[in-house]
Amino acid sequence: MQTSVLEKYCDARLPWYTIYPTVAHFSTVVGAEASEKWLQRLPVNESVSLYFHVPFCRSICWYCGFARSITRRDSPILEYLAVLRKEIELVAAQVPQRLPVSDVHFGGGTPTLLEPAQFGALMELLRRRFVVSKTAAIAVEIDPRTFTLATSEALAAAGVNRASLGVQSFDPIVQKAINRVQSEAQTERAVEMLRQHGVMRINFDLIYGLPNQTVQSCVQTATTAAAMRPDRLAVFGYAHVPSFKKNQRLIDEAALPDSPARAEQAAAMANTLIAAGYRQIGLDHFALPDDELALAQKAGRLRRNSLGYSADTCHKVIGFGPSAIGRVGDGYVQNEVAAGSYSRQIKAGRLATSKGYCLSLEDRVRAAIIERLMCDFEVDVPAICIAHGFDPVPFLGSPERLAMLAEDGIVEVEKGFIRVRQEHRFLTRAVAAAFDAYLGAPL
Quick check: is 136 in a domain?
A: yes
pLDDT the model gives residue 8: 75
Residue 419 to residue 429: CA distance in whole angstroms: 13
Whether 314 and 371 share a structural domain: no
Please report, rounded to a whole number, the percentage of residues in the chain having pLDDT higher than 70: 97
- Shared domain for 79 and 129, answered yes or no, is yes
**396 pLDDT more than 70:** no
Residues 288 and 430 grouped into a single domain: no
Of 213 and 10, the one with more pLDDT: 213
Of 369, 213, 376, residue with least CA distance to 283? 376
User: Is 293 part of a structural domain of the chain?
Assistant: yes
Burial class (CB in 10 A: 0-12, 13-18, 19+), 134: exposed
Q: What are phi and psi of 145, to 5 degrees?
A: -70, -25
Residue 397 has pLDDT above 60, yes or no: no
313 and 365: one domain?
no
Whether residue 81 has pLDDT greater than 60: yes
* Same domain flag for 205 and 142: yes
**Dist CA 112 CA 15 (whole Å):** 29
Is position 301 within any domain? yes
Tell whether 305 and 388 lie within a shared domain: no
Instruction: Evaluate if residue 12 carries a pLDDT over 80.
Output: no
Are residue 30 and residue 171 in the same domain, yes or no? yes
pLDDT band at 200 (very low <50, low <70, confident <90, very high): very high
Name the β-bridge partners of 413.
418
Task: Pick the last residue of a domain from 326, 347, 375.
Answer: 326
pLDDT higher than threshold 80 for residue 441: no
- Specify whether the CB–CB gap between 113 and 77 falls below 8 A: yes
**Which pLDDT belongs to residue 223?**
98
**CA 380 to CA 398: how far, in whole Å?**
16
* Residue 298 identity: K
pLDDT digits (tens, 9 = 90+) for 126-141: 999 999 999 999 999 9
Is 234 a domain residue?
A: yes
- Confidence band for 9, pLDDT divided at 50, 70 and 90: confident
Q: Is 365 within a domain?
A: yes
Q: Look at residue 307 in the predicted model and tell me its pLDDT.
A: 83
Same domain, 411 and 272: no
Residue 426: the pLDDT is 86
User: If you average pLDDT over every residue of the chain, what do you get?
Assistant: 93
The parent domain of residue 193 ranges over 23-326
Please give the residue that has the higher pLDDT: either 259 or 163: 163
* DSSP character at residue 216: H
Q: Read off the pLDDT of residues 204-249 as tens digits, 9 standing for 90 and up.
A: 999 999 999 999 999 999 999 999 999 999 999 998 989 888 999 9
Question: Do 371 and 247 belong to one domain?
Answer: no
Domain count for the chain, please give it: 2
Burial class (CB in 10 A: 0-12, 13-18, 19+), 356: buried
- pLDDT(156) > 60: yes
- When pLDDT is averaged across residues 180-204 and rounded to a whole number, the result is 97
Cα 423 from Cα 194, distance rounded (Å): 37
* Nearest to 407, CA basis, from 396, 393, 421: 421
Is the model's pLDDT at 439 over the cut of 90? Answer: no
- Residue 213 to residue 247: CA distance in whole angstroms: 19
Which uninterrupted H or E stretch holds 362? helix 361-376
344 falls within a domain? no
Q: What is the pLDDT of residues 40-52, one digit of tens each?
A: 999 999 999 999 9
Q: Are 289 and 395 contained in the same domain?
A: no
What's the confidence (pLDDT) of residue 67?
81
* pLDDT of amino acid 399: 66
3-state class (DSSP) for residue 248 = helix
Residue 125 lies in a domain: yes
Residues 197, 269, single domain; the answer is yes
- Asked if 316 and 369 sit in the same domain, the reply is no
Domain boundary among 276, 309, 326: 326
pLDDT, one tens digit per residue, over 264-295 is 999 999 999 999 999 999 999 999 999 999 99
**Residue 121 maps to which CATH number?**
3.80.30.20
CATH number at residue 408: 1.10.10.920
- Is residue 418 situated within a structural domain? yes
Final residue of a domain: which of 282, 304, 326?
A: 326
Is residue 1's pLDDT more than 90? no
With CA atoms as reference, report the closest residue to 109 among 76, 87, 137.
76
pLDDT at 395 over 70: no
pTM summary value: 0.93
